[in-house]
Amino acid sequence: MMRSLSNIFWLGTKELRSLFGDLVLIGLVIYSFTVAVISQAQSSSQELHRASIAVVDEDNSELSRRITRAFQLPYFQSPVYISQGQIEPLMNSGRFTFVLDIPPNFQRDVLAGRKPSVQVNVDATAMIQAGIGSGYALQIINTEVAWFVARAETSTPAPVNLVTRIAFNPNVTTAWFEGVMGIINSVTMLAIILAGAALVREREHGTMDHLLVMPLSPFEIAMSKIWANALVIAVAVAIALYLVVRWYLQVPIMGSIPLFLGGTVLYLFFATAVGLFLGTIARSMPQLGLLYILVAVPINMLSGGMTPVESQPVWLATIMKASPSTHFVSFAQSILYRGAGFDVVWPQFLAVAAIGALVLALTLRRFRAAIATAGA
């Protein structure tokens, strides 16, 4: 046993030296946990921010001016007054995302209870801002009209006082979610690529033949590649969480980072085993890249990081429950977003360990067969 552990350790150090000598893979690791995380967090904003808006005020009343003043930063830029004839050319040129057209006699019709219409022209090529901004505009207009009418006449209070409490992300800031999810998605991607590339690299460089003539078992060779690549990714995850997410993006981490890292190491045995399995199939790096697209992209897309599992078709959600990536995303969000402890996430830890052990066993069996074929 001690001899086997020693072989696994020293083979793993050889893998680390080989990995750090590959500048392309090291650059991929650094990029994935720094620039990629920052760009995903800051460039995929899903909240309304400084949307351009213009107003055609054909009423020029106290109510129309009050509605115009209600569109303020940080959601909207200061409204610009334009004429009705400028609406189409200015929107076609992309100058404004929203144009509010308040009709003549709007205030008089509101006070008379005639329910006049206000036209909101929206440039839907800015899809996220268009969808969210339309709802914001409707809420602003209704609020200002309700306040104006209530001041003009006595109105009955609403029967229900609705109070909204947003947990974990009170400002609904996209960067808080996307920054952490960028790290989670990179874990699966790099675990598969690095482990698979380690095996393909041995085959391309001809060093696999050297390993076969040494007194080493396939188990020792496979486990050395798994622990070495898992260690690199675990360290990169820790650095990214502390320096990129906490310090640079200013995202508060609610839970225990060491607990999350422990779960990540558990998950990495599954992800690196998948990479090693693909490495036994691929004969070159381009082939490994194609296999990665077929396997890892669906795993990342359907694991709950991009869309909730509950929103997927029942049959697909049932299948994804058998994937450790789904449980990994679940306990990662519970720990980092909600501050959950081990007493909450242990079922997900157990599921990752059990399914990961099964995949690892199948991978080792496939790896032995591949080694035997190469030796023959």
pLDDT at res. 44: 62
101, 117, 152 — which closes off a domain? 152
Asked whether residue 163 is assigned to any structural domain, the reply reads no
The pTM of the whole model exceeds 0.85: no
Domain boundary among 152, 186, 209: 152
How many CB atoms neighbour CB 233 within 10 A? 26
The pLDDT of residue 375 is above 70: no
Tell me how far apart the alpha carbons of residues 343 and 72 are, in angstroms, rounded to a whole number.
45
User: Do the domain assignments include residue 276?
Assistant: yes
Residue 183 is which amino acid?
Answer: I
Characterize the bridge pairing of strands 119-122 and 98-102.
Answer: antiparallel
Strands, E assignment, 150-297: none
- Of 38-47, 88-97, 150-159, highest mean pLDDT: 88-97
- Each as own residue / partner, the long-range contacts of residues 341-347 (CB below 8 Å, 24 or more positions apart, any chain) are 341/255, 341/256, 341/259, 342/259, 345/259, 345/263
Looking at the fold, whether 219 and 137 belong to one and the same domain comes out as no
Find all residues with CB under 8 Å of 335, minimum gap 6, and list them. 255, 256, 259, 260, 263, 345
Whether residues 29 and 94 fall in one domain: no
Q: What are the tens digits of pLDDT across the range 176-210? A: 788 888 898 899 889 999 988 888 887 777 776 67
In this structure, are 129 and 216 located in the same domain?
A: no
Residues 59, 34 share a domain: no
Q: Is residue 165 part of a domain?
A: no
Q: Do 109 and 258 sit in the same domain of this protein?
A: no
Mean per-residue pLDDT over the chain, rounded: 85
Q: Which of 122, 152, 182 represents a domain boundary (last residue)?
A: 152
Residue 20: inside a domain, yes or no? Answer: yes
Using omega within 30 degrees of 0 as the cis cutoff, is the peptide bond preceding 74 cis?
Answer: yes
**Residue 167 in domain:** no
Please say if the pLDDT value at position 43 is more than 80: no
Render 279-298 in DSSP notation, one character per residue. HHH-SSHHHHHHHHHHHHHH
- Tell whether the model's pLDDT for residue 364 goes beyond 70: yes
How many angstroms separate the CA atoms of 204 and 206, rounded?
6
Neighbouring CB atoms inside 10 A of 184's CB total 22
Instruction: Please check whether residues 66 and 36 belong to one and the same domain.
Output: no
Q: Which tens digits make up the pLDDT trace of 255-309?
A: 899 999 999 999 998 899 898 889 888 888 888 888 888 888 888 888 887 777 8
pLDDT in tens, 161-180: 667 777 777 766 777 788 88
pLDDT band at 57 (very low <50, low <70, confident <90, very high): very high
Could you give the number of structural domains in the chain? 2
Concatenate the DSSP letters of all residues of 158-205 into one string: PS--------S-TT--HHHHHHHHHHHHHHHHHHHHHHHHHHHHHHHH
Q: Which residues lie below 8 Å from residue 128, measured CB to CB, with a gap of 6+? A: 45, 46
Across the range 118-122, mean pLDDT stands at 89
pLDDT in tens, 6-16: 888 888 898 89
143 and 38 together in one domain: no
Structure tokens at 162: 């609705």
Per-residue DSSP letter, 17 = H
Please tell me the distance from the alpha carbon of residue 259 to that of residue 253, in angstroms, as a whole number. Answer: 12
At residue 152 the predicted structure's pLDDT band, cuts being 50, 70 and 90, is low
Nearest CA-CA partner of 317 in 335, 300, 304: 304
pLDDT value of position 212: 65
Q: CA angle, corner 129, sides to 126 and 134, nearest 5?
A: 115
Residues 198 and 330 in one domain: yes
In a domain, 328, yes or no: yes
Strands of the sheet with 53-57, listed across from one edge? 80-81, 53-57, 98-102, 119-122
What the block records as the tokens of 281 is 């199939």
Confidence of residue 343 (pLDDT cuts 50, 70, 90): very high
Q: Are 325 and 239 in contact (CB under 8 A)?
A: no
Task: Tell me whether residue 256 is in a domain.
Answer: yes
Name the residue with tokens 């080493």. Answer: 216
> Phi/psi class of residue 50: alpha, beta or left (left: φ > 0; alpha: ψ in -120 to 50)?
left
Q: Do 11 and 87 belong together in one domain?
A: no
Residue 270 and residue 208 share a domain: yes
Supply the range of the domain harboring residue 147: 53-152
What CA–CA distances, in Å, run from 261 to 234, 245, 250, 252, 332? 7, 15, 20, 17, 9
Instruction: Provide the angle, in degrees to the nearest 10, between the axes of the packed helices 62-70 and 127-152.
Output: 140
pLDDT of 322 above 60 = yes
In a domain, 168, yes or no: no
Of the candidates 101, 116, 88, the residue with the CA atom closest to the CA atom of residue 58: 101
Together in a domain, 62 and 38: no
Q: Is the distance from CB of 55 to CB of 66 less than 8 angstroms?
A: no
Percent residues over pLDDT 70 in the chain? 91
Whether 117 and 206 map to the same domain: the answer is no
DSSP, res 78? P
Contact 67, 139 (CB under 8 A): no
Q: Give the CATH number for residue 82.
A: 3.40.1710.10
Q: Within 10 A of 166 (CB to CB), how many other CB atoms are there? A: 8
Q: Indicate the pLDDT class of residue 132, thresholds 50, 70 and 90.
A: confident
